[in-house]
Amino acid sequence: MPEFLKLVSIEEARQVLFSHIVVENLAEEEIETLHALGRVLSRDIFADEDLPAFTRSAMDGFAVRASDTNGASDSLPAYLNLIGEVEMGKAPEFTVSKGQAALIHTGGMLPQGADAVVIMENTQMLDSQQVEIHKPVTSGDNLILKGEDVRAGEIVMRSGTLVRPEEIGGLLALGKTRIFVFAKPVVHIFSSGDELVSADIKPHPGQVRDINSPILASLVESCGGIPVLHPIVPDDARALEDALRQIISDADLMVITAGSSASTRDMTAEVISHLGTPGVLVHGINIRPGKPTIVAVCDGKPIIGLPGNPVSGLIVARQLVKPLLKKINGQANQEINQVIEARLTLNLASVAGRDDYLPALLEKKGQEFKVTPIFFKSNLIFSLSRANGLIHIPADITGYLAGDVVEVYLF
């Protein structure tokens, strides 16, 4: 297969890949809500009750009838009779009538008859039986109303929602201690190359440690997938095809990092084309770094062949593997990248006709973000470890000047 028969943009590569991936009837599992961080809801969540379940005070103060405070001021306070105190964790057993007030603390249940709370700072206790009100309130002031957050029967979270700490708090507030989530996609990861050895081995001259597999495994795990690492595959077509065929039926996604030579990349594409239809969809993406990328789908199973250089492979993986994992783990309304605009600190040249992605250090300076490119060679991983974002230079731009505002994709 000729290498780079037709280069496409990264957006086109994503679109053609996604168009061949059918996401329906995804497997789900029931888990404890406490262990759901980073998972994706597979069912809508309905509220079984109002939240809050009762109207309560938002401040320390006095529960009153708002009409009793009309016209109150420092010079002409309103005088109310103190009838008791609302105990925390209990429903009040008294009713606030005209001309009365009750001491209440933040979170306390509003007693019958009251419709507002005067905050403590706007009152003065005269004695144990009478309180001065120095500022008027209107009905509903300083209250959290019953059902103000959620109404019984309301859909509070949709299927496809990524569970964050905030979602866990909301679910537990409604008593949802177990929820249904999509099963984590299983991603099989292969590194190929005669020069590779595992990271625990001292390389001989001409050998290098394989860091692509653990890098990709970490990325997969951070995106909610289950990485499965495989032994290093030599630069041999039969060995690679045998390795892929053994696991293709169990994989939700396969990721291969190929060797650096053109012949090795061609071999990888040829092997993938034998695994099923339609086979290789894209062989070559018009970006730097990451041009020798392979995108394929074989009998419904997505396969991504990444460049062997670690920096190139990781940059492309963030643009392809990450969004694909979001799609196949059921995450709705996914964003491909989080983007921040920042002011460039250095001149930055580019070649028109291709998208460039440069590792960069993003820093907050005063009221704006500044970004400094980190110039690198594609096999030097520590150039990327010092970065926290990528500057994107679109294909129709020949570069930027220091001081220009650019888009930075966050890691």
Report yes or no: 72 and 78 within 8 Å, Cβ to Cβ: yes
Strands 339-344 and 253-257: unpaired
Cα angle 16-20-21, degrees, rounded to a multiple of 5: 115
Residues whose CB is less than 8 angstroms from the CB of residue 369 and which lie 6 or more positions away in sequence, other chains included:
340, 341, 342, 343, 362, 363, 408
DSSP state of 330: T
Beta bridge partners of 150: 51
Q: Does residue 190 register a pLDDT over 90?
A: yes
Q: Does residue 182 register a pLDDT over 80?
A: yes
Asked whether the bond before 214 is cis by omega within 30 degrees of 0, the reply is no
Q: Which of 3-7, 49-53, 176-180, 283-287 has the lowest mean pLDDT?
A: 3-7
Per-residue pLDDT reduced to its tens digit, 352-362: 888 888 889 99
**Cα(222)–Cα(209) distance, rounded to whole angstroms?**
23
Helix axes 212-222, 310-328, angle to 10 degrees: 30
Beta bridge partners of 57: 143
Q: Residue 324: its pLDDT value, please?
A: 93
Q: Which of 152-166, 241-255, 370-384 has the lowest mean pLDDT?
A: 370-384
Per-residue pLDDT reduced to its tens digit, 241-287: 999 999 998 999 999 997 555 566 678 889 999 999 999 999 989 98
Q: Is pLDDT larger for residue 308 or for residue 166?
A: 166
Q: Whole-prediction pTM value? A: 0.80
Q: Residue 379: its pLDDT value, please?
A: 59
* H or E, element range at 313: helix 310-328
**Cα(173)–Cα(93) distance, rounded to whole angstroms?**
25
pLDDT classification of 330: cutoffs 50, 70, 90:
confident
pLDDT classification of 1: cutoffs 50, 70, 90:
very low
Q: Name the one residue in this structure whose structure tokens are 């500044």.
A: 370
Per-residue pLDDT reduced to its tens digit, 42-80: 999 999 999 999 999 999 999 999 999 999 999 999 999
Per-residue pLDDT reduced to its tens digit, 140-155: 999 999 999 999 999 9
Tokens read off for 73:
């001021």
Q: Does residue 404 register a pLDDT over 90?
A: yes
Q: Does residue 378 register a pLDDT over 60?
A: no
Q: Name the one residue in this structure whose structure tokens are 């984590």.
A: 184
**Cα(52)–Cα(42) distance, rounded to whole angstroms?**
26
Q: Which of 263, 205, 259 is nearest to 232 (CA)?
A: 259
Q: Residue 252: its pLDDT value, please?
A: 93
**Cα(162)–Cα(181) distance, rounded to whole angstroms?**
10
Average pLDDT over the chain reads: 90
Per-residue pLDDT reduced to its tens digit, 213-226: 999 999 999 988 99
**Cα(190)–Cα(399) distance, rounded to whole angstroms?**
36
Q: What is the set of domains in the chain, with CATH numbers?
A: 10-27+183-328 (3.40.980.10), 32-48+151-182 (3.90.105.10), 56-144 (2.170.190.11), 339-410 (2.40.340.10)
Report yes or no: 298 and 279 within 8 Å, Cβ to Cβ: yes
Q: Does residue 334 register a pLDDT over 80?
A: no
Query: Above pLDDT 90, what percent of the chain?
Result: 66
Strands (E), 33-119: 45-46, 56-57, 61-64, 78-85, 100-104, 116-119
Residues whose CB is less than 8 angstroms from the CB of residue 263 and which lie 6 or more positions away in sequence, other chains included:
none
**Cα(397)–Cα(402) distance, rounded to whole angstroms?**
15
Strands 143-144 and 287-288: unpaired
Q: Residue 3: its pLDDT value, please?
A: 46
Q: Does residue 25 register a pLDDT over 90?
A: no
Q: Which of 355, 395, 391 is nearest to 375 (CA)?
A: 391
Q: Does residue 397 register a pLDDT over 70?
A: yes
Q: Does residue 230 register a pLDDT over 50?
A: yes
pLDDT classification of 375: cutoffs 50, 70, 90:
confident
Q: Residue 2: its pLDDT value, please?
A: 43
Q: Does residue 4 register a pLDDT over 60?
A: no
